[in-house]
Amino acid sequence: MVVIGGNESWVTVKNIAMLSSKAVALRIWAPLVDSMGAKRSLSISMAAVSPIPLLYYNATSVFELMGVSIFSSVAWAPWDVATALYMCYLVPEDRRPAFTSLQNVSSNIAATLGSAMRSWIGVHLGIYHVFLALTILISTTAMLAYKMTLELRYSS
């Protein structure tokens, strides 16, 4: 943000835009996920979030940053709803606390490794390549996840 003339207030504006749009997006996406199915919703979400790193990279004003943040919230919402459904329908109730802990630890390990990788890429190849690599990795993960994700059978 500093590079494009931003300051600390941009973080607050970005967070307000993101959190308020996320609340609305979750409300809108919940019935859509129910009608489309969890697998399709995950795929749509992952495809939609793929360009977000490059969109953030190219945001040059607080308004563009807010726009990307709102888009990000809307794009991530079906992922959040669908993963909650997977948790409820695939994991036995008595194992959900342990599964949730394992999922959080795994996510944090992946995030830590990803941060290290992004730092290395940023130092050796430049910051643009960090955002490009994220876009490519998210797109690749989306394609793999679509092939590997189970469809849930549930009744609403």
pLDDT digits (tens, 9 = 90+) for 91-120: 888 988 898 888 889 888 988 888 888 888
Question: Six-digit token pair at 94?
Answer: 């008595």
Judged against a pLDDT cut of 90, whether residue 83 lies above it is answered with no
Judged against a pLDDT cut of 70, whether residue 6 lies above it is answered with yes
Residue 8 to residue 46: CA distance in whole angstroms: 29
Domain boundaries, the chain: 8-148
> For the stretch 125-153, what's the b/e string if a residue is b when 16 or more beta carbons lie within 10 angstroms of its beta carbon?
eeeeebbbbbbeebeeebeeeeeebeeee
**What is residue 23's predicted lDDT score, i.e. its pLDDT?**
95
Q: Domain 8-148 is in which class?
A: mainly alpha
pLDDT digits (tens, 9 = 90+) for 139-155: 888 888 778 887 877 65
Residue 135 to residue 111: CA distance in whole angstroms: 15
Judged against a pLDDT cut of 80, whether residue 5 lies above it is answered with no
pTM: 0.79
Residue 18 to residue 36: CA distance in whole angstroms: 24
Q: Is the Cβ–Cβ distance between 33 and 82 less than 8 Å?
A: yes
Most confident of 1-10, 40-49, 106-115: 40-49
pLDDT higher at 35 or 7: 35
Q: How many CA atoms lie within 13 A of 130 on its CB side?
A: 16
**What is residue 153's predicted lDDT score, i.e. its pLDDT?**
72
